[in-house]
Structure 1
């Protein structure tokens, strides 16, 4: 495996992986809830104006505004009610001087009306809707409580861009703008391969040296939180030939394979040994803590592989830094990295010196000393990050402390990735 003794920066390793990414092919699919989480592969424009027609913003009465100019609470204007227009109606009654029609929110405004009087500002608020005439208690200007045709979007306006993720609000907006089909990239198909002779299923009695297997749950959960369902989860014995056979099965039918453990320099690190035969996979030492040993690249069978360290926090941090951006790039996301925020250290901690420190943190409310600025504190001991899975359970993000910094002091500003509310 090329580069097995390289030591590179986080940025270099991430950039190399992103260069290996192949975008998934687009598909044109019917718009619907199943497209939530898909990514647009083409821009989408409005097929018609939004709103489609002038319509009422209130339940009330559609009027000619000139008929209300003298109205007041003490001297209301009486108008004849000649009908009603519910939402969805195609009626367009002609309103003459001194007339009005009942109208519901969202119903199209009659062509001969130019304003709406809310029911609260009429006698109908007390007597109810079933009236042949209504007292208008205040004047309304032309355009009052009317949603104008095209005031939101005009036909042809850009609604969403290539690379936008389809959220519930965006899907709703696209449907409202007339889209019936969308060209999208769906989530990549990902397999999770679990190795480790010391691992046992949760709940099974443990002998000395054995621990519960939790990384499959961790990685599948991180995928799900990223909008990707793990297509396959495979448990494999720590034996090189068995791992080779699993990779040969998984690589042609998945876009990516994620594994945890077995990437170090030891005699029993089976993933590193197996991947040494793959010319498209590189073993590196990344200047980061935790997560220094990494094996990643593209298998001859087709899938990208991300062989991550086995300690849970190391695996999770590696997923955040390297795997999640690559999977988002596969799907065509316009933004593959999470936004980075600034937070104030609520307490001090020891940094990693010559490596980027990726420290799980929890957020705290601001105080009078720091105003409303976001504060953070370690979720795990800074000296024992990689294996502290218990404390990691409360983590809401990661503090990213650059190489070269030895100590973070209370009140220092640090860059953070927020991964949870």
Structure 2
């Protein structure tokens, strides 16, 4: 296994646009195989097929309030009615409300036959044998009708929907206890650099605390993946090659950070070239120009990102995250792109698509993007304050405050 690369013999790197490189990355893998999981284990997975309800929801007319079920004709202010029965939630009896009477109801309880209206207890004297109505309600008030939410046979979730709390609750309510989903991609993260310190201890001159592994592992989990390993390696080509080969057998994607530029100690570059694993490219973007992409001997995709923390984060968002979402089987693999009003002037290098960090807020009903920090790829403090990426086209060198721009929305959610 070669330890070094003759840099003089290395061909010039291909140059791609951001969209070209994103397409090359997305072509590496499709949705993972389908598995059937109990609902309790399916959170964060994406549906492999449409799911229909097995029943009407609600399955029978039910009360939306604690109160009294009666016939609309008897709902008169000042009326005093006999309380014919009590119906708590879960009561399975076939109760009938007589004319001129009421049945005391709990929220969610089945409304008796012949009753079409519920008077909230707050509008009565709360009687148990006889009840006095203090105010009127409209006919049909506070009754949840059978099937008003979902009809039996209706498709309630689509293939590609990612299962969050509300979706899982809907599946349970419509009679499902297991569901067919695509597997969640297993991700291994490798940070390289002899300068990295992982124990949080005091730093010697020239050292920094390792952060990319923590950051990218969290980003991968948020994208729906399962992080199976996080490694921090020194600048040693044989060791990097050995670890990449090892991780490739237990992960669906390996993500590396650092060591892909043109310096003398860029070991991931040398490992990729020495092992014949992939190619190194220059992408016409800022930050994130140097990128690596390929497959390990196991066939596992490997994506090699720059080491500066902002470059690593932006590269993950535009290249790695869409691939993970595709492997997850999610219908939406890209973040939402929104129009926003620019709060202050920005400048951008000619010929390079710039992704600036920005903060979103609403002013006078319009979404406004305020740049935070500068373009430097080391400004992690500004990145932590951002919730969007301001996408400046490659042919724009200046965008003025007040112009409408496109932002990539980084706020929580599966969009």
**TM-score if structure 2 supplies the norm length?**
0.92
The answer for the alignment partner of 2:84 in structure 1 is: 82
Deviation at 1:37, TM superposition (A): 1.0
Which whole-Å CA distance do the structure 2 matches of 1:355 and 1:193 have between them?
A: 27
Which whole-Å CA distance do the structure 2 matches of 1:295 and 1:345 have between them?
A: 33
Deviation at 1:141, TM superposition (A): 5.3
1:414 to 389, 397, 405: 405
1:223 to 220, 235, 248: 220
The answer for the alignment partner of 1:61 in structure 2 is: 68
User: Residues 415, 77 of structure 1: CA spacing in aligned structure 2 closer, same or farther, 3 A cutoff?
Assistant: same
Helix, strand or coil at the partner of 1:80? strand
Helix, strand or coil at the partner of 2:163? coil
The answer for the alignment partner of 2:313 in structure 1 is: 316
Which whole-Å CA distance do the structure 2 matches of 1:350 and 1:213 have between them?
A: 31
Which whole-Å CA distance do the structure 2 matches of 1:319 and 1:266 have between them?
A: 22
Deviation at 1:4, TM superposition (A): 5.5
Helix, strand or coil at the partner of 2:377? coil
1:13 to 3, 6, 21: 21
Which whole-Å CA distance do the structure 1 matches of 2:189 and 2:91 have between them?
A: 54
Helix, strand or coil at the partner of 1:266? coil
The answer for the alignment partner of 2:374 in structure 1 is: 381
1:351/1:406 contact within 8 Å kept: yes
Which whole-Å CA distance do the structure 2 matches of 1:287 and 1:87 have between them?
A: 63
2:42 to 8, 19, 35: 35
1:79/1:99 contact within 8 Å kept: yes
Query: RMSD of aligned C-alpha atoms?
Result: 2.0
1:23/1:329 contact within 8 Å kept: yes
1:284 to 272, 281, 285: 281
What is the correspondence of 1:148-227 to structure 2 with a 5 Å cutoff?
148-201=145-198, 203-227=200-224
Structure 1 alignment gaps of length 5 or more: none
Moved more, 243-252 or 91-100: 91-100
User: Residues 389, 134 of structure 1: CA spacing in aligned structure 2 closer, same or farther, 3 A cutoff?
Assistant: closer
2:32 to 18, 24, 42: 24
Which whole-Å CA distance do the structure 1 matches of 2:167 and 2:158 have between them?
A: 11
What is the correspondence of 1:274-353 to structure 2 with a 5 Å cutoff?
274-277=271-274, 279=276, 281-353=278-350
CA offsets 1:57-79 (integer angstroms, 9 cap, x no match): 111111122334xx23xxx2222
Moved more, 95-104 or 349-358: 95-104
What is the correspondence of 1:214-293 to structure 2 with a 5 Å cutoff?
214-277=211-274, 279=276, 281-293=278-290
Say if 2:392 is the partner of 1:401.
yes
Which whole-Å CA distance do the structure 2 matches of 1:97 and 1:13 have between them?
A: 73
1:134 to 116, 131, 136: 131
Deviation at 1:359, TM superposition (A): 0.9
Structure 2 alignment gaps of length 5 or more: none
Helix, strand or coil at the partner of 1:276? helix
Deviation at 1:150, TM superposition (A): 0.7
Which whole-Å CA distance do the structure 1 matches of 2:137 and 2:372 have between them?
A: 59
Which whole-Å CA distance do the structure 2 matches of 1:15 and 1:280 have between them?
A: 19
User: Residues 230, 393 of structure 1: CA spacing in aligned structure 2 closer, same or farther, 3 A cutoff?
Assistant: same
